[in-house]
C-alpha cells in the first residue's frame, strides 16, 4: 500500500512532515509574476525570494541525509525586466546547506513558443542590439543534502531493489543520460484538466522519481499545483506528500489523483489518500485567471496597432 497526503496550506510550514522523512523533493515553484500564469501574485521579487528561502529551510529539515531536491524553474521576463530565478534558487539552496549537484535543461519543441515571438524584433529592425531570443527551455536544478551512503542500497530487500530498477534501455534510448531532456510541455488545450495552471509534464517527475528514489519511499512536492507529482508517485509505487496553498485547486487535484472521497486502487498497489485543509490556505485561481484575461485583452489590442514586419529582400 502507498499513502498520499494533500495539504491545502502554505509550504513554509510543513509541520505534518517529520524531520528527515522525505526521500525526494520534486517541484516547480510559481513562475515569478508570469504574465499568463501568476500576474501580480507577489508584491515584488524580494517577496518571491523570501518564500523560497523559507522553503529551503523547511526542505533541509524534512529531507533525509544524502537525498535530492529538484526544482523545475526558469528565469522570468516581467514588464521587460529579466529576473535571475535560476541563479537565485541555486544561491538560496546552497546558503541553506545543500550541495548543487546538477542542472538539466528541459528543451521544449521548437514549433511552440508560449508567450511572445521576441526574436521577431530583428525582423522589424534588422540591426545589431535588437536581438531578443525566444525561450524554449527551462532548468531542472538538482540539489543534494550532504552525500548519499550507498550502503543503504545494499541493505534494501531484493524485492525493493528489483522493483526500483531503472529501465536502462529506455534510459539510453530516451537520452536520460544527457544534461538536455527533450520533453513536450503541457499544451494549452481548451479542455485540458490543468487549464489556467502552469503544470509540468508527467514525464519530468516520472524520470526524477525513478532516478532518485526507491519503491515505497516518500516524495514531496511543496508547490503541488494540479497534482502531477502525486499522480506520478502513485503510478511508481512511492508514497507522497503535496502542499498547495490555493484551495481552489483542490477539485483539480482530486480529479487528477482519482480521489473521490474513497480509496482508489491501482493493480498490485492499493492507495490510501488523505486531504488536510488548513486555515492558512487561500483562494487564488479565480483572481489570477481574471488578471490573465485582462492581460491578454490588452496585448491583443496592442498587437492590432503594431504593423506587420516587412522582410528585407
List of domains in the chain = 2-305 (3.40.50.150)
Angular region, 107: left φ>0, alpha ψ -120 to 50, beta rest: beta
216 contacts: CB under 8 Å, gap ≥ 6: 2, 160, 237, 238, 239
pLDDT at residue 106 tops 70: yes
Q: Is the dihedral of CA 253, 137, 51, 19 positive or negative?
A: positive
Element (H, E) at 107: strand 99-107
Contact of 14 with 244, CB cutoff 8 Å: no
Average pLDDT for 240-244: 98
pTM: 0.89
Residue 98: pLDDT band (50, 70, 90) is: very high
Give the dihedral sign, CA 192/193/196/198.
Answer: negative
**Mean pLDDT throughout 196-220?**
92
- Is the pLDDT score of 308 beyond 60? no
Looking at the chain, the whole-number percentage of residues with pLDDT higher than 90 is 73
pLDDT, one tens digit per residue, over 177-206 is: 999 999 998 866 555 565 656 678 999 999
Q: At residue 292, what are phi and psi to the nearest 5 degrees?
A: -65, -45
- The residue-averaged pLDDT of 234-244 equals 97
pLDDT at 291 (0 to 100): 87
- pLDDT 10s digits, 256-305: 997 533 445 556 678 999 999 999 999 998 998 888 887 655 455 544 44
Amino acid at each position: 500500500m502507498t499513502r498520499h497526503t494533500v495539504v491545502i496550506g502554505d509550504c513554509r510550514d510543513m509541520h505534518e512532515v517529520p524531520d528527515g522523512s522525505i526521500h525526494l523533493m520534486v517541484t516547480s515553484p510559481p513562475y515569478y509574476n508570469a504574465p499568463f500564469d501568476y500576474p501580480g501574485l507577489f508584491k515584488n521579487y524580494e517577496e518571491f525570494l523570501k518564500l523560497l528561502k523559507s522553503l529551503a529551510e523547511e526542505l533541509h529539515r524534512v529531507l533525509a541525509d544524502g537525498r535530492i531536491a529538484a526544482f523545475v524553474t526558469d528565469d522570468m521576463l516581467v514588464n521587460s525586466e529579466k529576473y535571475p530565478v535560476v541563479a537565485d534558487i541555486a544561491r538560496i539552496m546552497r546558503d541553506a546547506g545543500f550541495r548543487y549537484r546538477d542542472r538539466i535543461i528541459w528543451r521544449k519543441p521548437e514549433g511552440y513558443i508560449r508567450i511572445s515571438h521576441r526574436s521577431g524584433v530583428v525582423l522589424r529592425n534588422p540591426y545589431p542590439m535588437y536581438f531578443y531570443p525566444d525561450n524554449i527551455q527551462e532548468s531542472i536544478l538538482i540539489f543534494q543534502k550532504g552525500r548519499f551512503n550507498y550502503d543503504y542500497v545494499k541493505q534494501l530487500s531484493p524485492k525493493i531493489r528489483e522493483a526500483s530498477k531503472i529501465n536502462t534501455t529506455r534510459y539510453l534510448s530516451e537520452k536520460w543520460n544527457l544534461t538536455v531532456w527533450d520533453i513536450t510541455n503541457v499544451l494549452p488545450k481548451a479542455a485540458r484538466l490543468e487549464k489556467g495552471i502552469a503544470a509540468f509534464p508527467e514525464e519530468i517527475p516520472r524520470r526524477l522519481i525513478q532516478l532518485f528514489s526507491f519503491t515505497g519511499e516518500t516524495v514531496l512536492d511543496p508547490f503541488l499545483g494540479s497534482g502531477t507529482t502525486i499522480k506520478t508517485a502513485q503510478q511508481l509505487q512511492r508514497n507522497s506528500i503535496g502542499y498547495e496553498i490555493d484551495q481552489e485547486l483542490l477539485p483539480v487535484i482530486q480529479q487528477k489523483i482519482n480521489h473521490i472521497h474513497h480509496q482508489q486502487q491501482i493493480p498490485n498497489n492499493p492507495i490510501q489518500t488523505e486531504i488536510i485543509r488548513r486555515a492558512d490556505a487561500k483562494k487564488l485561481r479565480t483572481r489570477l485567471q481574471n488578471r490573465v484575461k485582462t492581460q491578454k485583452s490588452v496585448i491583443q489590442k496592442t498587437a492590432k496597432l503594431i504593423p506587420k514586419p516587412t522582410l528585407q529582400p
